[in-house]
Amino acid sequence: MAKLGVNIDHVATIRQARKAACPDPIEAARLSEEAGCDSIVCHLREDRRHIVDADVIGLKKTVRTRLNLEMSAAKDIVDFACRIKPEQVTIVPEKRQEVTTEGGLDVCRNFTKVRSVISRLNGKSIDVSLFVNPDLKQIDASVRAGAKIIEIHTGEYANASTGKARAKQLTILKKAVHHAVSIGLEVNAGHGLDYDNVTDVAVIEGINELNIGHSIIARAVFVGIGCAVEEMIGRIK
């Protein structure tokens, strides 16, 4: 069964809407772990629009499973990760104006930079994952850059507006996962997954972990985060 990483960014989004002290992402992480998730994911964006530095520092101290810090390859953020030492970093592309991460990292185009960031983080005993589109060229470049883990972007699949388009994207995802596993990568997946569309992805053989945020936090508003996480684990099962 694929593991579940819970992305708690949007707990911080609600807090930042009022620049208040609550809701606390650290409490959300604790309750998600109690409900059985396998890791906690947060994205420290360059504009600090939701998660802020103090959250990551607090999560590093309190997370009992594994902290997966999503971040860009910008130098000051990489410096921060080297100081805090989360168990894992996932490198994502970042644009200031985007509402959420729009696409995968272009490892081919940014090869030298990505390779040097992986090497720096690995030097601090931090596992590094690259968030890439389900594109075989990007997957091959990830291995050449020294990545041992990738996260495949499921956004195109999640946004497909017809059954036919979704089936096509699912085939692309399966091919990408199969290829990545065959060349020795640990393969995670995420973005846009919800309680309905997660099941077809969860059964793809070779997927290690699914990283899910928005749909879980949206459900948590009505049922509480513990129930929302348990329900998602149930759907993955």
Which residues in this chain contact ligand PXP in the complex, by CB under 6 A? 7, 9, 43, 70, 90, 92, 100-101, 131, 151, 190-193, 211-215
Helix axis angle, 25-34 relative to 53-62, nearest 10°?
A: 30
Start-to-end CA distance of the chain, whole Å, equals 6
Tokens 């650290």 locate to 26
176 or 193: CB nearest ligand PXP: 193
Cβ atoms of 132 and 104 within 8 Å: the answer is yes
Query: Of the two residues 151 and 156, which places its CB atom closer to ligand PXP in the complex?
Result: 151
Q: Which residues pair with 69 in a beta bridge?
A: 42, 89
Q: In residues, how long is the chain?
A: 237
DSSP 185: -
* Cα 229 to Cα 219: distance, rounded to the nearest angstrom: 9
Q: What is the C-alpha to C-alpha distance for residues 129 and 51, in angstroms, rounded to an integer?
A: 19
Strand ranges (E), 147-206: 149-153, 186-190
Can you tell me which residue has the tokens 């692309």?
Answer: 172
Positions marked catalytic: 43, 70, 191
Q: Supply the minimum distance, in Å, between the C-beta of residue 20 and ligand PXP.
A: 22
